[in-house]
Amino acid sequence: MSFDTPRDKWADAPVDEAGAGRGRSGLSKEIWVSVITAGGTIAAALITAAVAIGTGAASVPGLDGSPSVSSLQRTIASLEQDVSTLNAENEQLSGQVGDLTAQLEATGETPVTTGSTATADVARSTDGTPIGLYSGSCLDLDSTAANWGVPEGDFCIDHGDDITTTSNTMTILDEAPDAATCAAQTLVTDFVSDAQTLLGKHLCVVTSSGRYADVSVVSVDEAADAFALEITVWK
């Protein structure tokens, strides 16, 4: 058995008379030069790409774990759509809040602000003009009468100057409270001994109707056995 070598094949190849100057040797060299040139170009491109990737100057999506440009573009578009949707929902909710606030104002109600303690409406107050009450008398904290229902009512000072209420619920405070402060009290008593000791202090009182009131003794007339009281009652 015999094998034809490339040299044998070239030996049998016909000579192109039009390209006689090229011959077998010239054609062979041309083919190998083309192969070498193409191979060198590919190798150079691969080396350049490898160096770029190795130095961080370039990355190949899918090989280095980084998302492709088209993937990032889709993500950005999705996020922009989400933002647009949320903005639209926010505008809708703001409109609903405005409508509800207008309705509350039209009915005379006070809107409650989230995150803060709304100030309760005042039902009645002495408003800087104290009322006098003798020992042995009562007044009605829920009354709308000009004299606060004296001498009957749910807040009383007896002849021993002790203070009692029909609700049996009072708390002594050093500072003027609001309705929320009164509502939060846990140290309560059913009577206070000697009203004169409360001069300048405040009493959180629960009225017979279950409302909260602030009663303050602002002065004492010992000769007349009478007390001047400032009162605020909340709805």
**DSSP secondary structure string for all residues of 78-125:** HHHHHHHHHHHHHHHHHHHHHHHHHHHHHHTPPPPPTTS-PPPPEEEE
What lies within 8 Å, CB to CB, of 149 at 6+ separation is 138, 139, 140, 143
Q: Give the pLDDT confidence score for residue 27 in this predicted structure.
A: 43
Mean pLDDT confidence for 69-96: 82
Pairwise pLDDT comparison (90 vs 186), residue with the higher score = 186
Pairwise pLDDT comparison (197 vs 41), residue with the higher score = 197
Pairwise pLDDT comparison (86 vs 147), residue with the higher score = 147
How do residues 147-179 score in pLDDT, each as one tens digit?
Answer: 999 999 999 999 989 999 999 999 999 999 999
Pairwise pLDDT comparison (156 vs 55), residue with the higher score = 156
Q: How confident is the model at residue 80 (pLDDT cuts 50, 70, 90)?
A: confident
Q: Give the pLDDT confidence score for residue 65 in this predicted structure.
A: 58
pTM: 0.50
Q: Give the pLDDT confidence score for residue 81 in this predicted structure.
A: 85
Q: Supply the DSSP symbol for 199.
A: B
Amino acid at 67: P
Residues β-bridged to residue 170: 189, 205
Q: How confident is the model at residue 119 (pLDDT cuts 50, 70, 90)?
A: low
Cα(153)–Cα(231) distance, integer angstroms: 14
170-173 and 163-165 as β-strands: parallel, antiparallel, unpaired? unpaired
